[in-house]
Every structure is written in structure tokens, then in C-alpha cells.
Structure 1
């Protein structure tokens, strides 16, 4: 089975690098990037499109397919008290702890260890020739998710989470 991973298109908060914004719509650039991706790869019709609950993920999925299933388990990283903040609004000590220790939770939300573990469990999509949990007999699957979820799916483990860079509105193979 083939699994396609698409990072939700850009939003205003993505562009500003705000932490944890989940209700922001795609901005003009985000819509253009997703439309270009759809033109390049054609409509997604050979399997289910499953997306995270964030507004940008839902909008991106809707631009790619008429049939979209929202799975709340694919929710992005909970950054607690940092939600809506720019990196420069967070103390250097807290930021250093977060980047330096994947089990740290200086924001009071999810640690990188817990987040990557949660997403990797949901993302176990290959099991005996069918899509676990979504029970699809389709030969392929497309996941449309927020950037941190894509990082979690692509990284080896929590320690390598920040080593993975993804681009909004781009596709990757799982």
C-alpha cells in the first residue's frame, strides 16, 4: 500500500511562525500552493483522504478531494500556554529546554516524546495489506495534516523530530 502525506497549506500564523494556531484558514499563498499541487498530481481519487482536525488541514483536503474523513487523532502538537505566541515571545530558557529535551513540557502541553508516540501510533497505516483503523481496501491513502504531524510521521523518533523539515502545501511519501 502506498501512503501519501500532504502538509496543510500555509496560513497567516504559519507565515509568522506562531505556535499552535489551529483555527486559521489557508491564506492566499496556501490556497495557491495547494491548487498547484492538485494540478500537478491530479485529483486524489484512488483512495481515502484523511485529514487532521485543524482548519487548514480540512481546507487543504477539500481542495484535493471531494471525499474527506477528519480524524481528530491526527491533531497537531498541543503547545499549551505558547498557543498563539511567536518564538520571540517565549523565554530563551523555556525554548532551550523544549528543543534540548524531547520529554520537556515548558509550555504545559504535550512533550515531543508524547506527541511523536501518539502520532506514530495513529500513523501505523500498513498492516496486513489494509489501512489499520480506517479499514480501507484501497491501494493508497492520502493523509493531509498540520506540519508538526507530518514531522512526527517522517521522523525516526522523538529525538529526531526537529531534524525533519516540511513545507506547507507539499507532498511526501510515507
Structure 2
């Protein structure tokens, strides 16, 4: 399975959790550069604004929008920078995949949801999806305990070998 991450947004640049921002100018330019270097057709994308805009810039307007490919729900942390969050809560969230100090989705539940979607796609290894960066991390990790071990970048193509 091919995974394309959405282009950069303002919160990517300023390191903020969640929200539904659109691509910034640099994000659009990066996606257009990726579009010029890949011939992949997009089969599905997540529902976020930046993800939909990325798919459109890649020439995939009208791709199937799959809600199971939505990004991690960080609840009360949405729009906040790491400095605005209690360091004990933030550290606990990074250390324990089942933690949900923000009241949203735990990393474990999120990874399970994304892996269930991937499993349902079995036999479709040639699929290409456009997703938010946390969804790409979930698709690339083997389990929730390794979620944060996968660093991904905006407007980048990844391959998920075990899909």
C-alpha cells in the first residue's frame, strides 16, 4: 500500500495538536512537487481539509473519502501546543498507548481503528491513500507501542509493506 501524507499546514509548522486546518502555501507547493514526481492514482483519503486539498492537488478530486482514515482525536488538546499542556499528562500520553488525558481517542484505540481498516483492505496492496500524518504513522507501525517511533513528514510518499 502506498501512503501519501497531507501537505503542511499552519499547525504542522507551529507544532499544534489536532484541528482541521487547510494547507499553507509551502504545503501546496510541496504537494504540487510530489504530484509532478508520482503517477500514483489515489484510491481513498481521510476526511480532513488538508487531506482533501492534497488529494485534489494530486489530481484525485472525487477520491473515496473514508472516515476510518480520520486522524487521531486529541480531545481537549485540539489547537494547543505541547507547551500549553500539563507536562505530566503529555509525558503519560507518550508513554502509555492506552492513556487519554485529553478525553479523546487513545493511541491504542486509534492504531486499532486504522489497522482494522488496513486489514479490511487485504489483497489490495496496490492501493494508494492520502492521509493526515498521524494516520500514516498508524499505518506504518506494527502496534500502538511503536506509534511514536515512526516519524513522518508532510507531502511524502511511504510504502506500507504488510498491508
Alignment TM-score > 0.5, same fold = yes
Which structure has the bigger radius of gyration? 1
Aligned with 1:159: secondary structure? helix
Q: Does structure 2 retain, via aligned residues, the 8 Å contact 1:74–1:119?
A: yes
Which residue, out of 80, 84, 88, partners 2:79?
84
Structure 2 distance, partners of 1:75, 1:144, is: 11
**1:66-86 Cα distance to aligned partner (Å, 9 max, x none):** 441111111100101000101
Q: Does structure 2 retain, via aligned residues, the 8 Å contact 1:49–1:61?
A: no
Aligned CA RMSD, in angstroms, stands at 1.4
**Who is 2:19 aligned against?**
21
Whether 2:89 is the aligned partner of 1:113: answer no
**1:115-137 Cα distance to aligned partner (Å, 9 max, x none):** 1000110122553x3x4xxxxxx
Aligned with 2:35: secondary structure? helix
Structure 2 distance, partners of 1:34, 1:147, is: 14
Moved more, 108-117 or 139-148: 139-148
Q: Does structure 2 retain, via aligned residues, the 8 Å contact 1:51–1:144?
A: yes
Q: Could you state the TM-score of these two structures normalised by the residue count of structure 1?
A: 0.87
Q: Could you state the TM-score of these two structures normalised by the residue count of structure 2?
A: 0.92
Which residue, out of 97, 115, 126, partners 2:92?
97
Distance 1:98 1:32, change over 3 A: same
Structure 2 distance, partners of 1:103, 1:30, is: 32
**Who is 2:36 aligned against?**
39
Whether 2:69 is the aligned partner of 1:74: answer yes
5+ residue gaps in structure 1?
132-138
5+ residue gaps in structure 2?
none
Structure 1 distance, partners of 2:120, 2:33, is: 27
